[in-house]
Structure 1
């Protein structure tokens, strides 16, 4: 009997020792991740302090994504959310978004606070609202610990949006429903960036008080996912919600989606299956399914001329300076290679204000004069000048319903810069008004003599290259407001011109 007791004791000690040894690696890994998160937080804070807001935001989002993938909930994670709220508020001045980040922070550590040197009235207000939304935990043993993005034990319908998601992978959402709430069904309504309509998915119960759903991998393909959650009773009445249709929650999508990964059946949401079939689904050019864009804009330009000869008065020389390039219209159409890369062709027609050429002296009507070139829109019979070229756009910034891009391009054509030239008011006899000054104001000048102003142009070109930038604001699934700036250099007749264009961008 004693021998049996000793054997039992030895066995228990060995099992306990084995368990302790097995737990050491997992503890070490968790500590290593915590240290990495602290380092990423420090780097992001340093970036923010030197106004590198974009870099700081990326580091914080990557750190939060790492914490979520490792299942870590700690004060460091709470500090990451607080710092992300500070950075995003500096970027967009959005109090509602800051409050969402603070709600997430409080879910990891209720005692977290805004660092004193980053405090301002708006952030403090958002933190106060977040504390009203997240109840203070009573004790560690008397409340259910939250998992994933559900806030458990709060006594009301709760959901905390994940800060980030990985492009091309399913996005899992969870909601906590109190046991005493008569919930019949729970739905999540989501959309990708640039879309107007929400798609509805039903959340399924994963426990007595939890509901969950996965947004399919192929839907996680833009810079941001917007959504809201509604819980309804048997009569269809909404009795709990997180976010609204007009003020949805959002999750930033990191990276670019891997189209082949989706084709091969990996990274798909529940219920879609890996398959293994040979049929490959068509992958749209951009995340909204659009493949072609057509931009129609109008604007005006301002240029710099290093010199040159006026078109109607080629014997005259022009000194360097600024010169306007009056109104124009532009048609730009092309293909969306990816979400970010667009390649297209543009046609710019510059209007030609009316000008009387009948009184231009005969000696100015030779080759290359204004009369010979006033219809120089590629022989199309349109008065004015035209540009034709290719342009590549790279969309580098998506902020909710706002997109920014840079562009570069090249092509052929001319830009018409308008000048005012001084013309002697009288002919050589000093008494007879010059034909070009008829009907114009006479300007008296004791030094150069009386003169009038006549209108002329300088037309640099035929080749050009340029760089630019712009922004777009969606107003419909297929329509965006567009603002575009484009700086071009023209050769061999040199000139520089900057166009500012406003109009509409259509996507199909």
Structure 2
């Protein structure tokens, strides 16, 4: 007599197989017509935008009341090599205007003093805002009262600071959406001018960069880009070192040429990286185990004898 297949085990196996197909269908993302943009980790050097072009762009941002973006653009122009004294004076002037407008008086004073180091006779024209002219006059008086710091003692020569180098590389060429990106690096600062290291980051390639202060000690820094900002198609960021006056003195990347890390959509992941592959595989394995147990039970069964006693 052939034994019957245990109904409960068979139903369980078939249910798991059906669920595997359903879950795989749900896990598979819809196909997209457009191609996913992939950005390679890199950036950090701008070959196109000149210092004068950056200053002009920053001026337009200031006129449009986009003060933070103007400061970010000017910071990149300030540390770019090859700028003339006239360009640097214009950069410091616009930085001071932005800082005064935002109420950041310490940073504005540092920017104004940097101008006087380059040109002691500098003065804003009378057509300029009285608010700006009064601030510059006050900064110049304070600078002179302190002995004109930044100038060689008893001379008109400008103190030459050694260049600052930020050593850092993106930790990966690409990451999955929602990943916390951990960053670290070091600062080569021969004159010990750096007091703080800042991170600027944004999702995508447009808009204002968000800013956060990195942990900095013994010439090394570390921090992270939060998971909420890591969304397709990419993350852009740069690292900035500032001095005690709050002015930028070193950059790795900048707002015009940031470092980039690609954040591809899930549909662009390899088949073995996608969670939709492993869910049905796991269910299929489970179903196979159940079916194996079922048929193993069938092959191993023998006929049994049932005794019935009838008593009157």
- State the TM-score, normalizing by the size of structure 2: 0.32
- Higher relative helix content: 2
Q: Per chain length, whose mean CA-contact separation is higher, i.e. which structure has more relative contact order (CA < 8 Å, sep 6+)?
A: 2
- Higher relative strand content: 1
- State the TM-score, normalizing by the size of structure 1: 0.20
